[in-house]
Chain A
Amino acid sequence: DQQVKQNSPSLSVQEGRISILNCDYTNSMFDYFLWYKKYPAEGPTFLISISSIKDKNEDGRFTVFLNKSAKHLSLHIVPSQPGDSAVYFCAASYSSASKIIFGSGTRLSIRP
């Protein structure tokens, strides 16, 4: 069963506009959420995270929002830049088990 779901396999956004990537989860025990970014032929790199005690975390152009009641989180990138074109993975874990569960990813393309 897929505990972390990214239902949009791809997203295309114009440069300078906002990119919104969505993620849903099913396990209510998850208390820590992360976003990773992946370029071709490279491993994923950590982007931003949020603890379940918060509903928003911001780092420069990147903001993650968490809606625990809906078991939903989103990553906002604004303004979008060409270098943001990559695959974005949503991931989750819970404190009593340190393994991190990943979603299937969303391929973001920033068009000029």
Chain B
Amino acid sequence: GAGVSQTPSNKVTEKGKYVELRCDPISGHTALYWYRQSLGQGPEFLIYFQGTGAADDSGLPNDRFFAVRPEGSVSTLKIQRTERGDSAVYLCASSLTLGEDSPLHFGNGTRLTVT
């Protein structure tokens, strides 16, 4: 079946611009996560949703970052006034439920480059 889909796969934007990154989770998965991975580092937690609500947004670096999941399926990560330090691969993952028996399934990521 279809895995987690992230669009676009690559995004180049100028400093100060606004960007939106989209994630289509696996159908039926209730939990959705956003991570960010910089070169040579592991995925860094940003936020996760259980259904439509953000259950934990403690990883969002500042108020320029915002994510929504209005219908409990597709999610959009929004970054305002982008900075060069925002350049990274943004990974989305979904899981059937929360908990030990429900591992995360990751998409291939969106590579964001801020020039």
A residues with a Cβ closer than 8 A to B are 4, 6, 9, 32, 34, 36, 41-46, 49, 51, 89, 91, 95, 97-105
Q: Are the CB atoms of B31 and A100 closer together than 8 Å? A: no
Which chain B residues (7-64) contact chain A, with CB distance < 8 Å?
A: 31, 33, 35, 40-45, 48, 50, 55-56, 58-59
Q: Contacts of A91 on B, CB cut-off 8 Å?
A: 42
Q: How far is the CA of A103 from the CA of B42 in the complex (A)?
A: 5
B residues with a Cβ closer than 8 A to A are 4, 31, 33, 35, 40-45, 48, 50, 55-56, 58-59, 91, 93, 98-100, 103-109
Q: Say whether chain A's binding surface is mostly helix, strand, loop, or mixed.
A: strand
Q: Contacts of B40 on A, CB cut-off 8 Å?
A: 9, 104
Q: Contacts of B100 on A, CB cut-off 8 Å?
A: 32, 49, 51, 95
Q: Contacts of A49 on B, CB cut-off 8 Å?
A: 100, 103
Q: Are the CB atoms of B103 and A34 closer together than 8 Å? A: yes
Q: Are the CB atoms of A46 and B55 closer together than 8 Å? A: no
Q: Are the CB atoms of B55 and A44 closer together than 8 Å? A: no
Give the shortest distance, in Å, between A40 (CB) and chain B (any CB). 10
Query: Among the listed B4, B56, B108, which residue makes an inter-chain contact with A99, where contact means beta carbons less than 8 Å apart?
Result: B56
